[in-house]
Chain A
Amino acid sequence: MDEELERDERVFLLGEEVAQYDGAYKVSRGLWKKYGDQRIIDTPITEMGFTGIAVGAAMAGLRPICEFMTFNFSMQAIDQVINSAAKTCYMSAGLQSVPIVFRGPNGSSAGVAAQHSQCFAAWYGHCPGLKVVSPWSAEDARGLLKAAIRDDNPVVFLENELMYGVPFEMSEESQSKDFTIPIGKAKVERQGSHVTLVAHSRYVSHCLDAAAVLSKEGVECEVVNLRSIRPLDMECIEASVMKTNHLVTVEGGWPQFGVGAEICARIMEGPAFNYLDAPVTRVSGVDIPMPYAKILEDNSVPQIKDIIFTVKKTLNI
């Protein structure tokens, strides 16, 4: 964000505690000190209002980054995201663009209970007019955020609180000021030949961990990091499935109408269907509001053992 703020003076950040508090999760640390009140704005706790304000500013030529302290609070403002931001370019037949980024942590955390743990990938991924990205690695976060800020369209940028503290190795190229990752393109994080695992955000880590365990048993998983929810990179997934003949999707969100459900439908509509040796299976969060107690919470989200179990069932081993 610092680099993009420096590069383009139309870019500014607004949200709760982003300025003087340095960010609720310290993501915007140092920015207010460097850029001041006009470009880093602390808002009152009024999501519907400040999201509308952000969208309006985008319509009038600025490039706002609108932070939700968590995406759970974006529900208060979802009308502005969908009806005011997503649909406007279409409704105006291209006359009015909305170059805005909505970002913040998405999905479950640790012990924050039902109202603070929902994954919104499926909800936002459902709507035309939005681009929706869900980074996993530090490289993803950096490249996709820069791409999102430079994009002339509304982008929903789904971060993950538990991933904020996870360190990653980064190439020199990925540390350059102009490093961007194209929105709508997935990345194969691990090559494999027996089964394709597709995930986004934190669950890419789970898939890689499961793949390491399965490798010892002679099962080689190909792990696809979606990076983008909308557009979905079906070409990448299909190419992988045509190689491995098996597909397991993994997500933290609820199963019904989820990211995995969409992938299943599209696989059936495309060329990869005929290469499947078994039905596609989905690993997802349990279909309940998130409980608080640790033992219940741990069993409400996909664990590595669930992925391993599902792979073996899919491969019939």
Chain B
Amino acid sequence: MKRVLTAISNAFSRVTGKNAGSQTVSEGARAVVSPRTSDYTPQATFDVKKCDLHRLEEGPPERVELTREQGLHYYRTMQTVRRMELKADQLYKQKIIRGFCHLYDGQEACAMGIEAAINPTDHVITAYRAHGYTYTRGGSVQKILAELTGRKGGIAKGKGGSMHMYAPNFYGGNGIVGAQVPLGAGIALACKYQGNGQVCVALYGDGAANQGQIFESFNMAALWKLPCIFVCENNKYGMGTSVERSSASTDYFRRGDFVPGLRVDGMDVLCVREATKFAADHCRAGKGPILMELQTYRYHGHSMSDPGVGYRTREEVQEVRSKSDPITMLKDRMLSNSMAAVEEFKEIDTEIRKEIEEAALFATTDPEPALDDLCSHIFHNEPPLEVRGTNPWSKLQSIS
């Protein structure tokens, strides 16, 4: 019976290109739950939206394989990011997190899809909406939350804060809009120079897309055939300014002009993964840079200081949440193809909730950095130096 239902729902997916199957599978099918994983569909094929192409003859595949294992992993990762961001929201409202805090909820499929398509030895750099990437690149929830609360156990020892988190092969976390893009091209230059076959994913938003330095980066990356994947996360608003009000052309995937581009459904983790694989292959083949525009959405305002409703309607936010949520989309796909049970997702959610609570506890109880550490890390590999404090009699120490 289950096999028949699976075949029907696969057929629906093929025809409509969406997970429409989930709406038509009867309730009875969902109630049939087997505890043995061998009863679940180990792998299924899904249709993803076709990518619009710029200066490319062909694009990434439109039929995508997903294994049960991958699906559960993507679900877990995206849900962890989602819950982590919501916890950060809570801590900020309690004034335990201060300063700037730009949350990523809604955009999880971008970070997960990209990470699923590249290697840990590849490189990623983004702007200030960075908590999701810090996690997918290997930072723990504990270290991320503790950085937000400014404790010594934070990923940057409390010195960086929300916008300045780093991890191996993850170069932040950058506060100045657009500045991270030339940095990404530079990382790509180092990859080519060292001949290591690695690529760099350099992310920026729709607000940054008009920055001159981005076009300068496109030019040099193309000229020198740097293995750089430029990614525009288009969440439709640069702070309070919609794309129509900031950009003479909102076809961000075409803005690279001579750089080939693709426009990708950024709410679908599989679409992002395939597009990124395609882009990485392009770069590794020595063809030079490529540009991906991920169409995505942020549920929160620009930052915790922005209510996010002055420039868009609550209805719009609700609509995206109910129709295009990346986590729901993945879960529905897996359920309607019997790749996992509802209980399994619930269990994962429970585990994540526990992980987040424990991390938050650490983040609120870990001590603040020691004052001795105030001046450390000004330089790298330097003998200790004396640093002037607030007055001439205050002589502080800096250790590398």
Contact = CB atoms under 8 A, between A and B. Distances in A.
A49 B213 CA distance: 11
B389 to A, nearest CB: 5
B299 interface: no
Interface stretch (A132-140, A163-171, A282-290): A282-290
B160 A292 contact: yes
B199 to A, nearest CB: 26
Interface stretch (B10-18, B266-274, B371-379): B371-379
A293 B160 CA distance: 8
A46 B212 CA distance: 7
- Main secondary structure on chain B at its contact with chain A? loop
B164 to A, nearest CB: 6
A113 B310 contact: no
B390 A303 contact: yes
Contacts of A75: 176
Contacts of B184: none
B162 to A, nearest CB: 8
A45 B208 contact: yes
Interface stretch (B64-72, B82-90, B225-233, B236-244): B236-244
A275 interface: no
A297 B211 CA distance: 31
A154 to B, nearest CB: 22
Contacts of B150: 111, 292-296
B158 A292 contact: yes
Interface string A269-309: 00000000000011111111101111110011111001001
A21 B310 CA distance: 7
Contacts of B373: 296
B393 interface: yes
Given A45-B238, A72-B176, A281-B392, A113 B207 contact: no
Contact of B371 (A255, A299, A302): A299
Interface in A203-222: none
Contact of B240 (A17, A283, A291, A293): A17
Nearest to B159: A291
Contacts of A285: 390
A45 B99 CA distance: 21
Contacts of B160: 113-114, 292
Nearest to B391: A310
23 contacts: A16-B241, A20-B311, A21-B310, A44-B247, A45-B178, A48-B212, A73-B176, A109-B99, A110-B98, A286-B390, A288-B374, A288-B378, A291-B369, A292-B150, A292-B161, A294-B150, A296-B371, A296-B373, A303-B390, A306-B391, A306-B394, A310-B392, A313-B391
Interface of A: 16-17, 20-21, 24, 42, 44-46, 48-49, 72-73, 75-76, 109-116, 255-256, 281-289, 291-296, 299-303, 306, 309-310, 313
Given A114-B160, A292-B99, A296-B374, 8 more contacts: A20-B310, A42-B246, A48-B212, A75-B176, A114-B164, A287-B388, A296-B368, A310-B392
Interface of B: 98-100, 147, 150-152, 154, 156, 158-164, 174-178, 207-208, 210-212, 238-241, 245-247, 310-311, 368-369, 371, 373-375, 378, 387-394, 396, 398
